[in-house]
Structure 1
Amino acid sequence: MKFSWGHGVIVFLVLFFTWMVSFVMFSLKQNNDLVTKDYYKKGAEFSNHMEIQKRSYSLKDSVSIKNQEGHVLFAFAEVCPELKGEKQIYFYRASDKKDDLKLNVPAGDAQFLVDKSQLKHGRYNVTVSWEYNQEPYEVTKDFFVR
């Protein structure tokens, strides 16, 4: 039997559909936790979140995050009275919600260490939030854990 162009088209179509089916199966197995469960509630509170961000904008450089050997160091500016209270640190990993981490920092601590064994290597959105004079503040930074 001779291999003609018709046979080539059929072989191409079979290989193409096999690739498409395997790609769809691969895509269905991937984790897609990019949206929170309370998506509509967060959307309704977006204007409130924007007010907090606007209020906190001047304090964004008062919080620094650095990679160290085995730890992530958070340094809070001691000159800011707003940063004297209890703070909450939230490591948000967009690719997998199982890798998110929420920690509380005691009041008065100017530095805080987070053990890297609690975090996976990769990109996180780190949010530091606190209250001062009954008003919430929040600083969000991108951070890469090495």
Structure 2
Amino acid sequence: MRINWGTGIVIAFVCFIGFIMYLVVNMMTDDKFQHELVVEDYYKQELSLQDDIDKEINSQTLEENVSWEHTNDGILIQFPTSIEPSEISGTVYFYRPSKKSLDFEVPLVLNNHAILIPNDRLVDGRWNLTVDWKNGDASYLYKKSIVY
């Protein structure tokens, strides 16, 4: 039996579609490819975007902004020394883009203008660090993408 060019094209299309279907099924069922949403309440967070922008603008007006440093014990987050630590309240969020189960948040309890996030809470890789804090009536937001 001879295969003409029309039959060859049909066979090529069937093989290509079969290959693509194999890849799709393999990626959807394999546990090493985790498909998670970026955030659960995406639209709710989108509504508060202007508040976040205002907080970031407030942060830029500070003489000294929040900073972070990688130490042997973990990540040390420093707050402005011009503000009394007892007047600072808020939350530190660690968001892991690759795995939702690693996300966590820590309430701000400052020790000498700093807070230490220990090594046991962090895994090597990329993190999105967000510090949402208040000093009196003023709200501030610090966002940084870090590699631990």
TM-score range, shorter chain: 0.7 to 0.9
Report sequence identity in percent: 24
Structure 2 match to 1:33: 37
Structure 2 match to 1:101: 104
Question: Counterpart of 2:47 in structure 1: which amino acid?
Answer: A
- How many residues align structurally? 144
Q: Aligned pair in 2 of structure 1 residues 108, 70: CA closer, same or farther (>3 Å)?
A: closer
Aligned equivalent of 2:119, options 116, 119, 124: 116
Task: List structure 1 runs of 4+ shifted beyond 4 angstroms.
Answer: 1-11, 81-84
Per the TM alignment, residue 96 of structure 1 is displaced from its structure 2 partner at its CA by: 2.1
- Cα distance in 2 for residues equivalent to 1:141 and 1:110: 19
Structure-to-structure mapping, 1:47-58, within 5 angstroms: 47-58=50-61
Q: Aligned pair in 2 of structure 1 residues 117, 93: CA closer, same or farther (>3 Å)?
A: same
Contact 2:91–2:131 (CA under 8 A) maintained in structure 1: yes
| CA RMSD across the alignment | 2.8
- Cα distance in 1 for residues equivalent to 2:19 and 2:62: 51
- Cα distance in 2 for residues equivalent to 1:84 and 1:48: 21
Per the TM alignment, residue 105 of structure 1 is displaced from its structure 2 partner at its CA by: 2.6
- Are residue 46 (structure 1) and residue 83 (structure 2) matched? no
TM-score computed with the length of structure 1 as normaliser: 0.77
Per the TM alignment, residue 25 of structure 1 is displaced from its structure 2 partner at its CA by: 1.9
Structure 2: runs of 5 or more not aligned: none
Q: Deviations over 1:47-88 (max 9, x none)?
A: 222211211223495222222224122222312458851342
Q: Which has the higher helix share?
A: 1
